[in-house]
Amino acid sequence: MSLVKRKLALFLGIPLSIFFLFLALRKVDFLHVRQLFIGTNYLYILPCFVIYLAEFNLRAYRWWILVSPVKKGKYINFLSATHIGFFSNTILPMRAGEIIKVLLIGGREKISKASMLATLIIERAMDIFALLTMIYITSFFFSYPGNIKKIFMVTILILAGFIIIFYGLMYYRTGTLRFINIFFKVLPEKFWHRLERALDLFIDGLEILKKTHHLMLTLTLSLSIWLSEALLMFLIAKGMGIESIDYFGTMFVIAIIAIGISIPSSPGYVGVFEYFGILACSVLGIAKSTALGYILLFHAFQLVTLSAAGMFFVTREHISILQLEQEAEKEDQ
């Protein structure tokens, strides 16, 4: 990661994490949290490891399908890069893992970075689609505050805008590039031509949008991924004896957490993860102290599992943590 971005990560991410962690921990009965941990039936967590690993196979398979119109690569490379990318996000700032996994696949499968970036953006758009779908489903079971509904609508509009631009680039390339040029006309002509060449490669990565069967499959996989996350939260709630949240409730909580951690934060989303988890739980009527213990255990489970699986693939690929950072730095230079 470049020095400028590293400073930006420290200047924005760390203070924001500390701030949200303060909000999450204030006015909490830590004795209740301790008792909650002591009383947890940890046998419920055992199947969570299997579900979580299966979820990562779904993530890798989805990405493999997204890239397949450009080139059919080896699935194991996508599985490895997915694990290493998520592991990197737990130890490196500014979501460096997203860059690292793109570089790993791009280098091994000889695919352009621009095409890989396109598949990554589509992947994120599908995640947002799945999360919004889950929030919409749960809206039939819960009454949400007006601000959550506003965020829901704004996110839908942003997602719709991206979809329109993507399809415009594929089917109405000249007109769409002319529209995009309005925002980049301040750039020197040579930079615009370079950007236009990059967009040509970027459009290659959008080919999946032309394949209806593949598109529907990846959308289904995206929803399955996040429903699996909700199942993990549901099992942990059962293990902790929290009866006030059902499966639909965990769908809502995981969706709010996933959207919340998109803001800058420290590696591992510490503080931000807890705050938005507690915020979502409060909407469902769960007391703050109970919610904190619940979210802390779920977050800890994720970090431990991500680290263990990530280190396995890092060792398997003979990649050091230093090399992971250097991969991100090369992209910034």
Per-residue confidence of the chain (333 residues) as pLDDT tens digits? 444 455 555 566 788 888 999 999 999 999 999 999 999 999 999 999 999 999 999 999 999 998 888 788 899 999 999 999 999 888 877 777 888 888 888 778 887 777 777 788 888 888 988 998 888 888 888 777 666 667 667 777 777 777 777 777 666 766 766 676 666 666 666 666 666 666 665 666 666 666 677 778 888 999 999 999 999 999 999 999 999 899 999 999 999 999 888 887 888 899 999 999 999 999 899 999 999 999 999 999 999 999 999 999 988 888 776 666 665 555 555
d(CA 275, CA 25): 9
Do residues 118 and 206 make contact, with C-beta atoms less than 8 angstroms apart?
Answer: yes
> Which of these, 63, 207, 203, 204, lies nearest to 126 by C-alpha position?
63
The one-character DSSP state at 11 is I
Kindly report the pTM of this predicted structure: 0.83
Residues 6 or more apart in contact with residue 330 via CB below 8 angstroms: 103
Domain residue ranges of the chain, discontinuous segments joined by +: 3-332
Distance (Å, whole) CA 309 – CA 43: 20
Please give the single-letter amino acid code of residue 171.
Y
